Structure 1
C-alpha cells in the first residue's frame, strides 16, 4: 500500500492483527521484500503485527533522480572536516519517514528493528521520538563514529566497478551476486540459487538503482554526530552483530552497544553481513534465538527505562 509520509509516497506493508507492532527498517539500497520470509513468519507466529516499508530512494517509494550522483569521497571529506555538504536528504529525514509510517497507520508505539543502514535510522528514530519506541534492535549497524566502518579489501574489490544508474539486467545480476557473496558468511553461506532468486524478485519489483544507493550512502557518511547522541537513549536496546561481518566490522556493533546505556550486545558466530536479503537457515535461527526473547522481555505497557544488561561475548 502507498502511504503519504512527509509529503512523499512511501510503499509499506502491514500484516495487521491485534499483536504488538514491530516496525522493520531495511538497509542500504534494500527493499521491504528483502526481509526474509522466514524471518517475517517467525515474528508473525510469535504474535506480532509486522510493518515494513521501502525507505525513500528504494523500491516503490519516492526516488530522487534529476541530479548528478553525489561525489562520495568529497562528501566524506567534508563530513570529516565538520562541514555540512548539501544533500537531497539525511538519515534524520529517513527516520522521520519511519515515524510517518507509524503515524499513517495510527500506531502510537512500536518495537523498532533496523538492519545495517536501517539500524542507524532506527537509532535516529529512538533519539527523535523515544516515547514511540518500545524497544530498539540494531542489527549489523554502526554508531557513525569516525574510523569504524572499514570494509575488508575483498569487499572493496567486490564493490569496485559498480554499474551506474539503471544498468542492464545481466550486468546488475553479476554485480549484485558478486557483492552479496563477498559480504556473506564464509562458513554458512546462502546458496547461489538463493542469491539469484532474490535478484530476480528485486529486478521484477524495482530494478536496483546504484545512484539512489549512493544518495543513501551520502546520508550515512554525513551523520557522524549521532555517535555522541546515543548516550541519551533510554529505550531497551539489543545490538546484534555478526562475528565475521566484513562490511560493517564487529567493532561497530561493540561500539554501538557501549554508547547506548544498558544495551545488550549479542555477537552471532559465523554470521557476516547477511541476514538479508538471503540468509542461511542456521544464521536465521541464531538471530531469532536472541531477538524473540528480547522482544518478549519488553512488552507494550512495560517500563521503558533501559535495564542494566551485561554484554555477552
Structure 2
C-alpha cells in the first residue's frame, strides 16, 4: 500500500497533463502483463482500492480498465500503468476486509508524508510579467541553494538534489512558467531566456534571499548563466550541469539533440503544428527515456498544448546565443559535462567554460541529462565541495 500510494502521487503531473480519464491495467514491476482474468469481486476490490488511494493522494482521472490489454493503451497510459504496477497487489487486494480499510488509510497517509510534495513547502509566486510559478522550498540554513530546473520538468525530478542539500542549507526551486497548473492562463506570455531568468530572481525575492549558490540543470544551466550575467552579485557560486546552450555559430550536436531541435522548431510554430508532430515527438522521446523516470520526464509531451508551450520555452533557451553573456559572469563557475553525453554535446559546455572569467570545466567519464537526476551522493558532493570553496562571508 505504501508503494502504491507513492506511485499514484508520482504520476499526478502526468495524469493532469493528459487532462482526460487515464486508463490503467495491472502490470508487474518486473514485466509487462496483460490484465489477468480474476473474479468480478477481485476487480471491484482493486478498483475501489485504487480510487481510495487516489483520493487520498489528490489524483483525479485514473480509471482501472478490465477490457483492454497493455498494448491497447495510449503511450502515456502505458507509462502510468507501468509505474503503478497494479499486478503486484492484484492477488492480495481481495482479502483486505472492510474493517481493515482504516489501517490501509493510515499506511497511505504515512507514505504520502514522506514524498517530495510533503517534504517541500509549495507556494505560488507571480513572476515580474504576471505568470504564476509553482515554487518549492525545503530545509534551513544560513546559505541558500537555488536549483534552476530543467525546462518543463516537474520539480520532483530533482528530488535527490533537494534532499541532499537540505541537510544543512535551504533549497529553493520552481517549475517552468506556463506549464504547471496553467489552466486558464494564456500561453502567449514571454518565453525568451530573459523572462525565464527573471523567474529565478522572483523566487529569490519572494523568499528574501539576497544571494545564493545557484545550480543550473540541463536547460536551466543557460537560464542560470544569463541571470548571473545580469545580477552577478546575487550569486555566491554558479554550477552548470549538462547544459543545453545556444551559440551564434554552428557547433557539434548529438543526433538526439539535432532531431529534438528540429521537432521543437516545428511544434513551436503553432498549436496546429504541435498537434501534427505530437505523435512523432512522443515516440522519439519515449524510446530514449528510462522507465524509472518516464512518468516525470514525459510530462511536457502529455498533450499537444503542453508540447506547444514547452517547445516555445525550450527554443527561448536554445535559441539565445550565450557568447555575449559569458564575460559578464563574475561568480566562480563550475561547468560539468561528460564524455558520452548523447543528449547535449559536451563541446557546448567546453565552449562555455572557456569563455567564463572564472570558469572551471569538469568532464565526467559518463552521464547525461537523465542520469543527472538520479545522481548518487558522490556526484552531488562535487557540487557541494565547489560551493564550500565559496562560502557566504561571515557578518562583520
Interval containing the TM-score (normalised by the shorter chain): 0.7 to 0.9
2:248 corresponds to which residue? 146
For residues 348 and 133 of structure 2, the distance between their equivalents in structure 1, rounded to whole angstroms, comes to 29
Given candidates 198, 201, 204, the residue that maps to 1:99 is: 201
Residue deviations 1:180-238, cap 9 Å, x none? 3xxxxxxxxxxx430334358x48x99982111211123124422x3133112220111
Gaps of 5+ in 1: 67-86, 181-191, 303-313
- Give the secondary-structure state (helix, strand or coil) at the position aligned to 1:52: strand
258, 279, 293: which one pairs with 1:195?
A: 293
Instruction: Tell whether the 8 Å contact from 2:145 to 2:213 is kept in structure 1 after alignment.
Output: yes
1:295 Cα offset (Å): 0.9
- In structure 2, what is the equivalent of residue 32 of structure 1? 155
Gaps of 5+ in 2: 1-122, 268-272
- Change in CA separation of 1:91 and 1:170 when aligned onto 2, cut-off 3 Å: closer
- Alignment-derived partner of residue 267 in structure 1: 363
Give how far 1:153 is off: 2.6
Map Cα deviations across residues 30-85 of structure 1 (whole Å, 9 max, x no partner): 232221x222221112x11110101213323686436xxxxxxxxxxxxxxxxxxx
Task: Supply the distance in 2 between the matched residues of 1:263 and 1:155 (Cα, whole angstroms).
Answer: 24
Select which of 251, 256, 260 maps to 2:352: 256
Whether 1:242 aligns to 2:338 is yes
User: Residue 153 and residue 172 in structure 1: after superposition, are their counterparts in 2 closer, same or farther (change >3 A)?
Assistant: closer
Distance change (3 Å), C-alpha of 1:124 and 1:257: same
TM-score, reference length from structure 1: 0.72
Partner of 2:317: 220
Hey, what does 2:164 align to over in structure 1? Answer: 42
SS across alignment from 1:119? helix
Partner-residue secondary structure (3-state), 1:42: helix
1:1-80 alignment runs, 5 A limit = 1-6=123-128, 7-35=130-158, 37-45=159-167, 47-60=168-181, 64-65=186-187
User: 1:157 and 1:222, CA in 2 relative to 1: closer, same or farther beyond 3 A?
Assistant: closer
Q: Distance in 1 between matches of 2:182 and 2:331?
A: 29
1:291 pairs with 376, 383, 390, which one?
383
1:90 and 2:192 aligned: yes
What is the DSSP-based 3-state SS (H/G/I as helix, E as strand, rest coil) of the residue aligned with 2:337? strand
Q: Which structure has greater helix proportion?
A: 2
Which of the pair has more CA radius of gyration? 2
Query: Shift in Å at residue 117 of structure 1?
Result: 1.4
Secondary structure of the corresponding residue to residue 288 of structure 1:
helix
C-alpha displacement of 1:15: 0.4
Asked if 1:300 corresponds to 2:395, the answer is no
TM-score normalized with structure 2 length: 0.58
- What pairs with 1:163-178 in structure 2 (closer than 5 Å)? 174-178=283-287
**What are the superposed Cα offsets for residues 262-297 of structure 1, whole Å, 9 maximum, x if unpaired?**
211111111123245x53x5xx34531321100111
How far does residue 150 in structure 1 lie from its aligned partner after superposition? Answer: 4.2
Corresponding residue for 1:126? Answer: 228
Distance 1:206 1:110 in 2: 35
Which segment is superposed worse, 258-267 or 214-223?
A: 214-223
Please say if residues 323 and 355 of structure 2, whose CA atoms lie closer than 8 Å, have aligned partners that are also in contact.
Answer: yes
**Alpha-carbon distance change, 294 to 218 in structure 1, aligned in 2, over 3 angstroms:** same
CA deviation vs aligned residue, 1:94-126 (integer Å, no higher than 9, x gap): 111110111111111111111121111101111
SS at match of 1:274: helix
Secondary structure of 1:238 counterpart: strand
Following TM superposition, the consecutive aligned residue runs of length 4 or more in structure 1 with deviations greater than 6 angstroms are 158-164, 169-173, 205-208
CA contact (8 A) 2:337 2:362 kept: yes
- Distance in 2 of aligned mates of 1:244 and 1:263: 21
User: RMSD value over aligned CA atoms?
Assistant: 3.4
Contact 2:225 2:325 in 1 (8 A): no
**CA 1:255/1:111 → structure 2, altered by over 3 Å: closer, same or farther?**
same
Instruction: From the superposition, tell whether residues 11 and 244 of structure 1 become closer, same or farther in structure 2 (CA, over 3 Å).
Output: same
Matched residues, number? 264
Question: In structure 2, do the counterparts of structure 1 residues 287 and 149 end up closer, same or farther at CA, with 3 Å as the change threshold?
Answer: farther
